[in-house]
Amino acid sequence: MKKNGWLILLTIGLGLVFVFFLYLEQRAEPEEDPVSFLSFRVSAGETPERSEEIVCWNRDGDRYYVFLPSYADLDRTEIQLPASLDYRLDGVQLTQGMDCSSFSLNTDYELTGDGFSPRILQFVQSANAAAMYVDTFSRNMERVNADKSHKERAVTTVYTADGHLDYQGYNDIRGRGNSSWNYEKKPYNLYFYEPASLLEMGEAMEWVLIANASDNTHLRNKLIYDFADSVSPHPGWVPENEYVDLYLDGEYAGLYLLCERKENAADRFKEKKVEYVTICLNNYVTKLDDPDTALKLDDTIFAEIVEPSISTDAKYKRLKAYLQEFMDALPEENWMDYIDLDTFARKYLIEEIFANIDGGEASQYYYWDESAKKLYAGPCWDYDMTLGDATWVDWISPYNLKMQGTIWYRDLWKQEGFAEYVQNLYDTEFLPLLDRMIDDLPAAAEKIEKAVYADQIRWPVLYENSKDLMPIGRFLSERVGFLNSLWIDHKEYCEVSFASQGPRGFPIVSLYVPLNSPGTLVPRPEDMGIGEEYIWYRLDNDEPFDHHSVITGDLTLYNKMEPAAEGPAGSFISLKLLAMIIPVISFLFLTAILLIIDYRRNKPGRSHGHA
């Protein structure tokens, strides 16, 4: 202690100094962002007497963006800045009320002022999208974004893409969605106090803002809704929808798809004033509104009544009895007595053609006409995970038939009448519209290119993490070619099933290859993200699958670690563990040595005298 006391005291002193500075840092008030004093008032193109205030959005500390709506003009965009502040943009003195005609879009300008270091500011403008401003009474969206059930009162104003005032009224806003709620860019529900007619989509009390956070193209939901509307069998089969640039309390929140709720669409189907019940199928309990009342249809699929929102136990019992009768009748000749063939066939085609990962299993809606004892498929809903989107799965091919393995449709497809009806409908009605859709895809993407660019700046992490297996135009072209050869040319195919799950736990969709195809068409496990050390084994004989063989029939494969790879893989794991453990062991060993040396040096009773 006498010998090392100074070192101990020094260590304690430094520790106290560190704690003191940490305390001061915690007590210190955060420095106010000087750019928060600067905002911009944008006048509407066709309604110059109206204007909306837009605040700057900060990215990476020293870079700021001003996101302008489609109708904005820099000549009619005015600076909002207290007169007491001396700010300059690219050397130009900023004053209250001055317009931004001196500046240009997509150009970095240096923002300077007394008391803060230079910042970068850039003007970015959307195009071909309406603008929606939701201004909360509290001027704070933090609780809404943190708690999906929390509502905030607001005033919502909507302008068309050319600046025409479309709507203004009171409403509540809150979060929505299941898996989509987990993204940083949040989806929302809007509850209006009076029926709101938005962007010529008809009146509704409730509207939905779809974030499209998993779709970096922002095309999938819009394209498929519009296509489904062109083949709609009746009103209300597809929700009305339009693009909007959303501003929350003046801050740009991104490009959204404004939709009427599927329950609103369902109301239009009830044109005969018959009391319909809307049910939803989901494959995860977490997606259910009330797991206690949901009906379990098989090992993974649940059904629940979503409209009317309050349903009696008696109605649930009648629905359960009806669905059980329907499923019992599926293998029999009277299956058609329980369903509307046309809506079931059209819904099958929408899900199958666009390769919906959730098709037949999640967010699947049906109408039940209890008096007529008929089940109608629809309305269509939720198509962000389609056309090769690989956000939630690790591999999907244009050459598959997922819907034929889902509840109800796996049995319906075995019925000759259903398969024939679907194939004829595809050939005569769907295919011409699909060809046109493929031709129009580049124009659809170009139309929202600037709006998507602004969204990409606002939410860069979503674009960095999203995965598309191939461009959606190419995916759809290959998919239509596959379905043509199967349903029109009646080419023979073999189904290659995978008795394995992907790395994230989702089942791997099967692959269809032409009869007598080479095994090289089957991707290896590593191509599906399973791992380089695995190979496919045939389920029928437990032998390794030969990628140089010829596929002459259906087969099922499962992944298994290569025997030769087990040793190296184990060694790799061991080396990895050793790499983590060795530094710790070395540190402990060295500490022990030092302690022993110190103990021996200062051992009580040790003689320091001369012999």
pLDDT for 261? 84
Say which range, 45-54, 93-102, 134-143, 580-589, has the weakest mean pLDDT. Answer: 580-589
CB contact set of 266 (below 8 Å; sequence gap of 6+):
236, 276, 278, 307, 365, 367, 379
DSSP β-bridge partners for residue 116: 113
510 pLDDT higher than 80? yes
pLDDT for 572? 44
pLDDT for 193? 96
Model pTM score: 0.86
pLDDT for 23? 52
Q: What is the mean pLDDT of the segment spanning 118-122?
A: 97
Q: What is the mean pLDDT of the segment spanning 294-307?
A: 90
Comparison of pLDDT for 533 and 276, the residue scoring more = 533
Confidence grade of residue 61 (pLDDT, cut at 50, 70, 90)? confident
pLDDT tens, residue by residue, 304-323 = 998 887 788 898 999 999 99
Q: What is the mean pLDDT of the segment spanning 218-235?
A: 96
CB contact set of 555 (below 8 Å; sequence gap of 6+):
494, 496, 497, 538, 539, 540, 545
pLDDT tens, residue by residue, 8-35 = 555 555 555 555 555 545 444 445 788 9
pLDDT for 610? 43
Backbone angles phi, psi at 131, to 5 degrees: -120, 130
What average pLDDT is seen over the chain?
Answer: 88
pLDDT for 607? 47
Q: Considering the chain, tell me which residue range(s) the CATH 3.10.20.90 domain(s) occupy.
A: 492-582
Determine if residue 250 is left, alpha or beta; phi over 0 gives left, psi from -120 to 50 gives alpha, anything else beta: left
pLDDT for 570? 43
Domain 492-582 carries which CATH code? 3.10.20.90
pLDDT for 89? 97
Confidence grade of residue 48 (pLDDT, cut at 50, 70, 90)? low
573 pLDDT higher than 60? no
Give the C-alpha separation, 189 to 204, whole Å: 12
> Which residue bears the tokens 């389920």?
539
Q: What is the mean pLDDT of the segment spanning 459-481?
A: 89
pLDDT for 504? 76
pLDDT for 39? 97
pLDDT tens, residue by residue, 228-252 = 999 999 888 999 999 999 999 999 9
Single-letter amino acid code for the residue at 294: A
Q: What is the mean pLDDT of the segment spanning 258-283?
A: 76
Confidence grade of residue 481 (pLDDT, cut at 50, 70, 90)? very high
Q: What is the mean pLDDT of the segment spanning 187-192?
A: 98
What would you report as the CA-atom Rg of the chain, rounded to the nearest whole angstrom?
A: 31
Q: What is the mean pLDDT of the segment spanning 362-391?
A: 91
Return the DSSP state at 528. Answer: G
**Contact present, 165 and 44 (Cβ < 8 Å):** yes
pLDDT tens, residue by residue, 133-180 = 999 999 999 999 999 999 999 999 999 999 999 999 999 999 998 889
